[in-house]
A and B are shown apart, each in its own frame.
Chain A
Amino acid sequence: EPEVTQTPSHQVTQMGQEVILRCVPISNHLYFYWYRQILGQKVEFLVSFYNNEISEKSEIFDDQFSVERPDGSNFTLKIRSTKLEDSAMYFCASQKGEGANVLTFGAGSRLTVL
């Protein structure tokens, strides 16, 4: 069964460092998302991406965050200068098309900021 692949599975970084989280969505999917889950809490929407541009973003997705799809397969989330409160599990998800389609999540990238 097709799956969403995320790397790294776990990254530890120092506060203020830049981090890039990578995702390979399912190949025929058109909509891509990043969600974040702080330990023990709910899954929070960060940003959605369609047709090579951001379609929607939440309040969490401030100027420290950026996304891009550099090569037509990878979908990356960059955090420019990490803060302690960025420590969380980051999930990438993809969706086939419009309407109420199933979101398929990747296994997540755990980010720990020290």
Chain B
Amino acid sequence: QQPVQSPQAVILREGEDAVINCSSSKALYSVHWYRQKHGEAPVFLMILLKGGEQKGHEKISASFNEKKQQSSLYLTASQLSYSGTYFCGTDHTSGNTPLVFGKGTRLSVIA
């Protein structure tokens, strides 16, 4: 069950905020957020578990709404280095089912 990400793309000026959403039609156990720069591997940002709390990583934080089966990634006071494609990966059980990734959100931060 591929998660749905929105928006597909967003352009920000440095210092602006953005929200990227990830939703699933099936109950989620965990949501993983990754950032991929052009030509590089996806890099782990954070993981949110069912029943867990909101996580933060510098000026990037995320929430997980189990009832709505969705997660949101919040980027505040964006920097040029935040540019890249953000993927959410979801799994639906506590066992080792493979992550299924959304189509990604391309974020471009301009000066």
Contacts and interface: CB of A to CB of B under 8 A. Distances in A.
Contact of B96 (A42, A91, A98): A98
Given A103-B32, A103-B44, A108-B41, A95 B96 contact: yes
Contacts of B100: 45
A102 B44 contact: yes
B71 to A, nearest CB: 13
A31 B95 CA distance: 12
Contacts of B102: 42
Interface string A65-82: 000000000000000000
A18 interface: no
Contacts of A99: 94-96
Contact of A107 (B41, B49, B89, B98): B41
A52 to B, nearest CB: 15
Interface in B7-39: 29-30, 32, 34, 36
Interface residues of A, number: 25
A87 interface: no
Contacts, number: 61
Nearest to A97: B96
Contacts of A43: 36, 42, 87, 89, 101, 104
Contacts of B87: 42-43
Contacts of B41: 91, 105-108
Nearest to A104: B44
Interface of B: 2, 29-30, 32, 34, 36, 40-44, 47, 49, 87, 89, 91, 94-104
Interface of A: 31, 33, 35, 41-45, 48, 50, 55-56, 91, 95, 98-108
29 contacts: A31-B96, A33-B98, A41-B103, A42-B2, A42-B102, A42-B104, A43-B36, A45-B99, A48-B96, A48-B98, A56-B98, A95-B96, A98-B94, A98-B95, A99-B95, A99-B96, A100-B29, A100-B30, A100-B49, A100-B91, A101-B96, A103-B32, A105-B34, A105-B41, A105-B42, A105-B43, A106-B41, A107-B40, A108-B40
